[in-house]
């Protein structure tokens, strides 16, 4: 009997057998998505192959419910990449395939064919400086060789990295090859689409979470069939199904958004290297503040280091002034007097200002003044955040929403106060201080409307707004020539988080947001308000000194044995019962220690420890951290899976997590 081999996106690393629908040739189903019954659920799965089985058990097999696709979507590269993801990120083949070919993509009733040829594209030329020319020539040489090469393009902010990308894409297209460009924030797609369309016509596509499942399907087929040659998008665009891939660009490569947190917890940067090798393509990692891992790779010649050490037209880097918050009086303005004065001056000159605070909402803490009770989320061990208009308390982890309490739930006092600062509170202060200023706030709340990305970008470009206020989504990539002043309201929000990357992220955020100022003909100024003006992350950011920061921070990592001096994995143990979570984590830790010693894996285990947020959405969380080499970590995970000693426990494994919290 002919049966289909099907990969189902469930955490069981095995192939399942199903019968093909009647009157359909099994060979015509291979490589397509199908609907199958799996237990009590109907799931979208992936047909890998078919074979003839004589086993009597085939009589018990279920038939496929529906064939979703008209065309085969799975190629040889897809299968090999899925196997790589399955092995390296500890997931099933079905889960890996679901990350490469989205299960939710929907075929439209009718697909309009509009093949675009290279002849229709007219390139708009920009004159490059000597540093850009050298970078482009080096990349072109490697594109000509038709072999894998990896570059770290380390360029100060406004040094013209985008022009290097564009010229490299142009050359790849002339070789009849395709290009993927990854950007870290969905907010940047409007700007990059605008730039790329002016240079390459309509030969580009945009891929991100804001486009519909039907749009994704149409775009997927256009890429697969060669109807478009350039894709710009967020993390998952790395899976774009180009047949003749020549170039992959990862802009702001240091950003943690390139790491998927949910299973499979793949890293788009590592996938880029894999696809680069598979397709003999060139991979460019670009940043003004590279990750320690990438810069170390460049110093060790694993990547070719290309540097752009000055801004275009020899423009000055912004002057960064560090102001201490330590002496600020209680109940005084969020903005220090010098900050207020500089904003006033910039507004009087009709220049634009970017105000940055990496915390949304109005205030992060609600507390009773009488008894000190802090209002926590009922489902999570974290304070609820106060949001205005309407006045509500929100949990930024589980989404729980509550009305503002009229009295304290413990002592019934009405003396309830809000503490701390979010972007809404900063907006209120800006409106009071600068009554005629036109302010646009772009954060996780306003950006829920995808049109607001375009409104913010075009509004600043067209000078409809004087001040752009926001969280980290405004800290990188944006190019506003009239922006002369950047104000960092509190540089410490990420500095002391319980994470080995917190200092690095603080340096990167200050560097990136500072780079939004002085990009045109006006010199830039940056104000950094902080409680820790002497911290080396802030000192080195102030002096635009990446190399000194790298040397200091890499030594810290070496001493503490953290990446890039080891690989790391986080095991999460979750249970609705706190005591059960404790018991499972202790037992699991004991099993892991025994396996490490028995098989001489040379790994270091930390924990089990309570997670930074110990309860999330009524689930209690424990963590075990593993340090060592990746091969041995993966081997340990395989041994654990085979031990089958913890039935019923929900255990999540993340290889090289973006944080350990």
Q: Which of these ranges, 13-17, 571-575, 644-648, has the smallest mean pLDDT?
A: 644-648
Is the confidence at residue 511, as pLDDT, over 90? yes
More confident residue, 337 or 651: 337
How far is it, in rounded angstroms, from Cα 420 to Cα 125?
49
CATH fold for domain 2-100: GIY-YIG endonuclease (3.40.1440)
Mean pLDDT of 315-323: 96
Residue with tokens 């010649």: 301
* pLDDT recorded at residue 209: 84
Mean pLDDT of 650-659: 87
H or E stretch including 507?
helix 502-514
SS3 content of the chain, % helix, strand, coil (to 5): 35, 25, 40
3 state DSSP class of 345: helix
H or E stretch including 557?
helix 546-560
Counting every residue, how long is the chain? 661
Could you tell me which residues are beta bridge partners of residue 532? Answer: none
CA 356 to chain centre: 19
Residue 258 structure tokens: 């390139």
How far is it, in rounded angstroms, from Cα 236 to Cα 245?
16
Mean pLDDT of 622-645: 90
Mean pLDDT of 137-155: 97
* pLDDT recorded at residue 138: 97
CATH fold for domain 567-655: Alpha-Beta Plaits (3.30.70)
Q: Over the stretch 419-469, which tens digit does the pLDDT of each residue have?
A: 999 999 999 999 999 999 999 999 988 877 778 888 999 999 999 999 999
* pLDDT recorded at residue 427: 97
Dihedral-angle region of residue 619 (phi above 0 means left; psi in -120 to 50 means alpha; beta otherwise): beta
Return the DSSP state at 434: -
DSSP 448-493: GSTHHHHHHHHHHHTT--SEEEESGGGSSS---TTEEEEEES-TTT
How far is it, in rounded angstroms, from Cα 121 to Cα 544?
39
Which candidate, 257, 149, 166, 261, places its Cα nearest to that of 204?
166
Is the confidence at residue 586, as pLDDT, over 90? yes
Residues of the chain with CATH 3.40.50.300: 118-312, 315-361+421-558
CA 380 to chain centre: 24
Q: E strands, 453-583, where?
A: 467-470, 483-488, 525-530, 567-575
Residue with tokens 């006033």: 344
Residues of the chain with CATH 3.30.70.600: 567-655
More confident residue, 547 or 643: 547
Q: Over the stretch 35-71, which tens digit does the pLDDT of each residue have?
A: 999 999 999 999 999 998 877 666 689 999 999 999 9
H or E stretch including 170?
helix 161-174
Is the confidence at residue 330, as pLDDT, over 90? no
Mean pLDDT of 594-620: 95
Which candidate, 181, 541, 501, 521, places its Cα nearest to that of 356?
541
Q: Over the stretch 96-137, which tens digit does the pLDDT of each residue have?
A: 999 999 999 998 877 555 554 444 455 567 899 999 999 999
Residue 280 structure tokens: 């003999």
Is the confidence at residue 644, as pLDDT, over 80? no
* pLDDT recorded at residue 329: 67
pLDDT cut 70: percent of the chain above it: 96
* pLDDT recorded at residue 372: 92
Could you tell me which residues are beta bridge partners of residue 625? Answer: 570, 606
Residue 111: φ, ψ to 5°: -105, 125
Would you say 625 and 607 are in contact if contact means Cβ atoms under 8 Å apart?
A: yes
Residue with tokens 């009922």: 378
Average pLDDT, the chain: 92
Residue 226 structure tokens: 């060669």
CATH number attached to the domain at 118-312: 3.40.50.300
CATH number attached to the domain at 315-361+421-558: 3.40.50.300
Q: Which residues contact 11 (CB under 8 A, 6 or more apart)?
A: 91, 92, 95, 263
3 state DSSP class of 178: strand
Would you say 244 and 177 are in contact if contact means Cβ atoms under 8 Å apart?
A: yes
Mean pLDDT of 307-330: 91
């Amino acid at each position: 009997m002919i049966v289909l081999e099907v990969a189902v996106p469930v955490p069981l690393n095995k192939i399942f057998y199903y019968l093909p629908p009647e009157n359909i040739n099994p060979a015509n189903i291979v490589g397509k998505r199908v609907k199958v019954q799996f237990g009590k659920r109907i799931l979208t799965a992936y047909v890998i192959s078919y074979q003839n089985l004589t086993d009597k058990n085939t009589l018990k097999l279920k038939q496929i419910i529906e064939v979703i696709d008209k065309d085969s979507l799975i190629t040889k590269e897809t299968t090999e990449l899925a196997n790589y993801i399955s092995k390296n990120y500890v997931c099933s083949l079905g889960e890996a395939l679901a990350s490469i070919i989205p299960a939710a993509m929907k075929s439209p009733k009718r697909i309009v064919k509009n093949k675009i040829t290279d002849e229709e594209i007219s390139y708009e030329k920009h004159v490059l400086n000597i540093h850009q020319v050298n970078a482009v020539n080096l990349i072109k040489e490697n594109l000509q060789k038709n072999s894998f090469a990896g570059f770290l393009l380390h360029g100060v902010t406004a040094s013209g990295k985008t022009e290097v990308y564009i010229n490299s894409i142009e050359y790849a297209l002339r070789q009849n090859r395709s290009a993927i460009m990854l950007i870290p924030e969905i907010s940047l797609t409007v700007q990059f689409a605008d730039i790329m369309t002016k240079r390459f016509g309509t030969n580009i596509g945009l891929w991100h979470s804001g486009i519909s499942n039907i749009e994704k399907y149409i775009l997927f087929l256009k890429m697969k069939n060669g109807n478009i040659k350039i894709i710009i998008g967020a993390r998952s665009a790395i899976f774009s199904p180009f047949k003749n891939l020549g170039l992959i660009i990862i802009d702001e490569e240091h950003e943690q958004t390139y790491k998927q947190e949910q299973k499979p917890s793949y890293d788009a940067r590592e996938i880029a290297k894999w696809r680069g090798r598979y397709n003999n393509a060139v991979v460019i990692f670009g940043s003004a503040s590279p990750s320690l891992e990438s810069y170390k790779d460049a110093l060790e010649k694993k990547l070719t280091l290309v540097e752009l050490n000055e801004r275009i037209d020899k423009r000055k880097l912004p002057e960064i002034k560090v102001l201490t918050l330590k002496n600020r009086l209680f109940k005084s303005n969020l903005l220090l007097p010098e900050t207020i004065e500089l904003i006033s001056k910039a507004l009087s000159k009709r220049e634009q200002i970017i105000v940055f605070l990496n915390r949304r909402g109005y205030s992060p803490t609600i507390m009773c003044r009488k008894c000190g009770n802090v209002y926590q989320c009922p489902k999570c061990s974290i304070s609820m955040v106060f949001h205005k208009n309407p006045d509500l308390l929100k949990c930024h982890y589980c989404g729980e929403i509550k009305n503002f309490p009229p009295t304290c739930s413990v002592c019934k006092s009405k003396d309830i106060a809000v503490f701390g600062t979010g972007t809404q509170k900063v907006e209120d202060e800006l409106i009071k201080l600068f009554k005629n200023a036109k302010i646009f706030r772009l954060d996780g709340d306003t950006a829920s409307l995808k049109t607001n990305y375009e409104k913010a970008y075009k509004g600043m470009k067209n000078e409809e707004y004087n001040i752009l206020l926001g969280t980290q989504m405004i800290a990188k990539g944006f190019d506003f020539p009239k922006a002369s002043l950047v104000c960092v309201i509190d540089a410490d929000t990420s500095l002391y988080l319980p994470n080995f990357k917190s200092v690095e992220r603080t340096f990167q955020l200050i560097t990136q947001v500072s780079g939004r100022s002085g990009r045109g003909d006006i010199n830039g100024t940056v104000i950094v308000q902080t409680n820790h003006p002497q911290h080396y992350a802030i000192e080195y950011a102030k002096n635009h000194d990446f190399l000194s920061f790298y040397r200091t921070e890499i030594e810290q990592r070496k001493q503490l044995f953290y990446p890039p001096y080891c690989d790391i994995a986080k095991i999460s143990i979750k249970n609705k019962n706190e005591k059960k979570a404790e018991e499972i984590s202790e037992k699991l830790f004991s099993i892991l220690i025994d396996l490490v010693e028995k098989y001489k894996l040379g790994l270091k285990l930390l924990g089990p420890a309570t997670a930074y947020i110990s309860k999330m959405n009524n689930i209690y969380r424990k963590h075990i951290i593993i340090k060592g080499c990746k091969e041995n970590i993966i081997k340990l995970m395989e041994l654990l899976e085979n031990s089958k000693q913890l039935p019923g426990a929900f255990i999540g494994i993340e290889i090289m997590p973006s944080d350990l919290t």
